Amino acid sequence: MKKVLFATTALVATAGVAAADVTFGGYGRFGILYISDDGTGDSDTNVTSRFRLQIDATAESDAGVTFGARVRLEGEERDAAVGTRAQFNGVRYFARSGGLEVGVGNIFGALEFMPGMYPIDLGLTGHNYDYTAYNFRGDAYSSGGLGSDGSNGVEVLYSAGDFSVHISASDTNDRIAAHAAYTFSGWTIALGAQDSDSDADTEFAASVGGTVGPVALTLAYADNGTAGDHVVLAGRVDVGAATNVEAYVADADQWDDTSFGIDFNHDLGGGTSLRGGVSTGGSLGDETAVDFGVRFNF
C-alpha cells in the first residue's frame, strides 16, 4: 500500500484540522483460464486479467473521530461472455472511533464480512467461490458495481479485544443481517443470521477456524433459504518457505455434485507471486476449471 499525505490550504480549511490521509493500493493479475466440459468434450481457453486500484481517504476531527471513504477502479477480462470492464464502484463512507465504526453506501455486509466465509482464495481467479458458504445471498461490498450504494446500505461494526459484532441492513429485499465472532486459543468461532423478504437469501451461517499442526482449517455452514444447506471444509498448509497449498471440499443442496478444488501459491518476493488452481463439480457441474498466472500487489 502506498500513502500520499495532502496538507495544503485547499484541503485544510481551518487551523487545527488534521491533514487528509489518502492511501493507494491494489493488485494486478494475468494468466490463462481453461475450462473443460466432461459431459460434452468441449473446452475453452482464454486470457484472464484484472487490475484493481483501491483508494482510501480519511480525515480525523479534533475529537479523534476518523471519517473516510473507499472507492475502487477495476478493469477485468475473463472470457468472451464477460468481456472487459473498467469502472469505479460505489463508494463506502464511514466514521470510526475506537472499536466502533459506522458505514454507509457500498457496505461490506455482515455475512460477507463474517470470518470463515472466505477461508481461501483459490488459484489465480478464485474460480466460482464455491467455498463461500453463504453463496452471496446477502449484502456485500461490490468491486465492480454499486453494491448497496443505491439501496440505503448501512452497517455498524464493533470490536473489543477478541470479540466482534457486525450488523448491516439495506433496502435490497429489506435485509437485516448480523454476525458475532470470538477468538480464543487461536480459534475463531462466528455465528450469523439474516432476515429478508426473499426466500432465496441466507437465513443462518456458522463457522469455526483455527490451526491443527501445520494446517489452517475452516469449517463453515450456511442455510441459504430455497437453495438449501451449504457446507465447506477448507485448509491451507505451507510446503516450503515460499509456497503454500490450499484445498476445499464443499457440498450444497442446490448442486448435483460435490465441489472440489486445490491450488498453489508461490511467493516470488516484492509482492509478486505465481498462482494456479483446479476445481470441479458444484456450480461448475461437469466442467473442470484450471487457471495459472501471476499476481502482483502494490
pLDDT tens profile 113-143: 999 999 999 999 999 999 999 999 999 999 8
For the chain, what is the domain count?
A: 1
Tell me the C-alpha distance between 282 and 227, whole Å. Answer: 13
CATH number of the domain within which 85 lies: 2.40.160.10
* Predicted local distance difference test score (pLDDT) of residue 76: 81
Residue 173 — φ and ψ, nearest 5°? 55, 20
pLDDT band at 10; cut points 50, 70, 90 = very low
pLDDT over threshold 90, residue 17: no
Instruction: Specify whether the CB–CB gap between 67 and 59 falls below 8 A.
Output: yes
Confidence of residue 85 (pLDDT cuts 50, 70, 90): low
- The pTM for the full model equals 0.88
Q: Residue 109, CB half-sphere, CA atoms under 13 Å: how many? A: 22
Polymer length of the chain:
298
Asked if residue 7 has pLDDT above 80, the reply is: no
| Amino acid making up residue 175 | R
Asked if residues 217 and 120 have their Cβ atoms less than 8 Å apart, the reply is: no
**Do residues 89 and 107 touch, judged by C-beta distance below 8 A?**
no
CB atoms within 10 A of CB 69: 17
The confidence score (pLDDT) of residue 12 equals 39
Gap between the Cα atoms of 125 and 206, Å rounded: 25
Residue 77 in contact with residue 84, Cβ under 8 Å?
A: yes
Domain span holding position 84: 2-297
* Cβ neighbours of residue 26 closer than 8 Å, sequence gap 6 or more: 51, 52, 53, 54, 72, 297, 298
Per-chain mean pLDDT for the chain:
90
pLDDT tens, 182-241?
999 999 999 999 999 999 999 999 999 999 999 999 999 999 999 999 999 999 999 989
Q: Which residue from 52, 56, 33 is spatially nearest to 43, judged by alpha carbons?
A: 33
**239-272 per-position pLDDT tens digit:** 989 999 999 999 999 999 999 999 999 999 999 9
